[in-house]
A = this chain, B = another copy of it.
Amino acid sequence: MSKKVKVGIAGASGYGGGELVHLLLNHPKVAIARLSAESNAGERLSSLFPNLPDLGILEKTSSVSSWNDLDILFTALPAGMSSRIVSMLPKPHPVVIDLGPDYRFREADDFKRVYHMEHGSPETLPFSSYGLVEGNRESIAGSRYIGSPGCFPTGALLGILPFLRSGFLGKTPFIVDGKSGVSGAGRGLTVDTHYPEIAEGMKAYKPLVHRHVPEMENAMRMFVGDANQVLFVPHLMPLNRGLISTIYLPLLDHVTPDMVGAALLEYQDENPFVRIVENPPNSSHVRGTNRVDIHAVTGKGTLVVMTAIDNLVKGAAGQAIQSMNLVLGEDEMTGLPMWGGFP
């Protein structure tokens, strides 16, 4: 077997980082060479993730800037940290695939406006790509910095793009009603994610003002040059993994259900992780996979698209690896689960 690609993960103690390790253990072309954490530095990975083997002691994230022996560096860090680390990495450095927000915008000003902080290495942005493979495949393959999309934008854009690019949609705001499992809120302890506060309950949060709104609007402009506004209400739901998006889109009068179906079929043909399903998708059917299940119906001048993803796989670690596969010139499905267990 040829020499394996060396990857490191900065921020391996969170759920995104842990899922990266889990998935990469099954990837035939890579070897996990380095892992870091912040407050958990010095602990063993298998203490933090008893679901994983003992891959050794976690380094301090501040030492990542000295990791010069890697081919790929995944960063799963709070806003601003990965771009600051990039600015300290000696050149040439590994391709950086960020699961955080630092490379989700092409302009440092956009990042600053949304995250209220300076971008750590604005000079790298011209060499970066938004890591939604379904829509940005070629750009990603040639990038040095990839901003993996947020989980909600992933679920929303996968349902919007096939129809937006087809010119099927009117100009009124798109409505995205998102429902996420609690793992999407991360591993940090908060009252909202304390078990009894959300089990047997559900609620919306940050209605209309979530940071994923500008990310969605920006991505649509980038991919289609179009500028619909997005009304987005995320909801926290009492399950671990899974994200469904119910998307209400203004359908132009001339668009028939057959045209909707044809656009979706074309999208499925182009994208190996896209699957059209006959009924509204259940998030548990994509759990553990990098797949998105899509279903669409029309009525009263509206196109309703429902998508289901695993927020930690297609919504985070999985699509980051999908981007990595493109960078490495591999088939984008390499090492990524297409089918999962149920229930």
Contact = CB atoms under 8 A, between A and B. Distances in A.
Interface of A: 15, 18-19, 22-23, 25, 47, 49-53, 172-173, 175, 177, 179, 181-183, 187, 189-191, 193-205, 207-209, 229, 231, 233, 235, 237-242, 244, 246, 248, 277-289, 293, 295, 297, 299-302, 304, 306, 308, 312-313, 338-343
Contacts of A195: 182, 193-195, 198-199, 238, 240
B240 A343 contact: yes
Contacts of A189: 189-191, 194
Total identical chains: 4
A203 B244 contact: yes
B179 A179 contact: yes
Contact of A233 (B49, B198, B208, B304): B304
A248 B207 CA distance: 11
B242 A22 contact: no
Contacts of A194: 187, 189, 193-195
Contact of A51 (B179, B241, B295, B339): B339
B242 A202 contact: yes
A120 B289 CA distance: 40
Name A's interface SS.
Answer: loop
Contacts of A281: 50, 203
Contacts of A209: 299
A297 B208 contact: yes
Nearest to A191: B189
A240 to B, nearest CB: 5
B51 A342 contact: yes
B190 A338 contact: no
Contacts of A18: 341-342
A260 to B, nearest CB: 13
Given A193-B195, A194-B189, A199-B238, A248 B248 contact: yes
A248 B208 CA distance: 11
The 3 closest A-B pairs by CB, nearest first: A201-B284, A196-B343, A204-B280
Contacts of A342: 15, 18, 22, 49-52
A189 B244 CA distance: 25
B237 A199 contact: no
Given A50-B293, A202-B239, A238-B239, 15 more contacts: A15-B196, A18-B342, A50-B282, A52-B339, A53-B339, A182-B196, A183-B343, A195-B199, A199-B200, A202-B283, A204-B246, A207-B246, A231-B248, A238-B238, A312-B341
- Residue of A175, A190, A191, A204 contacting most chain B CB atoms (<10 Å): A204
Contacts of A47: 278
A202 B50 contact: no
B229 A300 contact: yes
8 contacts: A19-B341, A51-B289, A194-B194, A200-B343, A202-B244, A207-B246, A207-B280, A229-B300
Given A235-B246, A288-B288, A196 B187 contact: yes
A220 to B, nearest CB: 15
Contacts of A208: 297, 299-300, 304
